[in-house]
């Protein structure tokens, strides 16, 4: 199972939210590049970079941060937040993103996302399936939809989407354990998707539980910043 450390950006700062609430913002670093270099120094190869300003706005806001991190590290970056149109997607790729996560736009304009799948292929796109009480949320988790998470994933999987990052919003930032049972159900329905867990991870046992459940990867954020899991431990986990 791959380990993907996370950096969420608001106004250029690396922050974490709790359950997606912007009023819960806590700043952990004023220079995200310092964090990214720490991840790289501990042999972590991936980075989940989220533009939270863009996620609730009308387009990408923190593109310069993506450019800096991509230019100054060798991390494989998946980028999300603010992808509203084809120009945004291309800008993210041009700025160094290896993959782009599409969440809100996948809820609101599936035909556009289907066209991106045809243009870029499924290896460069990740479906963002962020759910609260089993229902997909969008716009930085500020808007509810009428789409059930399993059906949403199935819909896109049938169109060729291979990778899915699923966040249980109720778990995000709570350090109370991930939604392993939810992930098991999703994998039972779609065993060949590459499912990426996000939200709630607090300790190494959580990661081993996700690995045993068959997760493709796990995104780790607040547990790193709050000292619950060290970078040394994550580095060792990736070598097991």
Catalytic residues, by residue number, are 8, 130
Distance from C-alpha of 204 to C-alpha of 177, rounded to nearest angstrom: 10
CB contact at 8 A, 23 and 66: no
Handedness of CA 151, 155, 160, 165 (dihedral sign): negative
Return the CA Rg of the chain: 16
Structure token pair of residue 200: 């709630």
Q: What residues pair up with 77 in beta bridges, in sequence order?
A: 47
Distance of alpha carbon 41 from alpha carbon 36, whole angstroms = 9
Judge contact between 112 and 151, C-beta under 8 A. no
């Amino acid at each position: 199972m791959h380990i993907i450390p996370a950096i969420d950006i608001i106004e250029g700062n690396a922050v974490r939210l709790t359950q997606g609430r912007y009023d819960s913002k806590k700043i952990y670093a004023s220079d995200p590049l310092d964090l990214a270099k720490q991840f790289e120094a501990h042999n972590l190869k991936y980075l989940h970079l989220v533009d939270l300003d863009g996620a609730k706005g009308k387009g990408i806001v923190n593109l310069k941060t993506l450019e800096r991190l991509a230019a100054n590290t060798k991390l494989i970056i998946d980028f999300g937040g603010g992808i509203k149109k084809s120009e945004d997607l291309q800008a993210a790729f041009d700025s160094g993103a290896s993959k782009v996560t599409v969440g809100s736009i996948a809820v609101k304009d599936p035909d556009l996302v289907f066209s991106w799948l045809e243009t870029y292929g499924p290896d460069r796109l990740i479906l963002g399936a962020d759910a609260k009480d089993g229902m997909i949320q969008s716009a930085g988790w500020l808007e509810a939809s009428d789409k059930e998470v399993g059906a949403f994933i199935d819909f896109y999987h049938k169109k060729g989407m291979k990778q899915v990052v699923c966040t249980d919003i109720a778990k995000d930032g709570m350090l109370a354990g991930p939604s392993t049972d939810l992930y098991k159900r999703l994998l039972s329905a779609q065993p060949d998707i590459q499912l990426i867990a996000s939200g709630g991870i607090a300790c190494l046992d959580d990661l081993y539980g996700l690995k045993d459940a068959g997760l493709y990867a796990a995104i780790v954020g607040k547990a790193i910043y709050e000292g619950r899991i060290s970078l040394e431990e994550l580095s060792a986990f990736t070598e097991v």
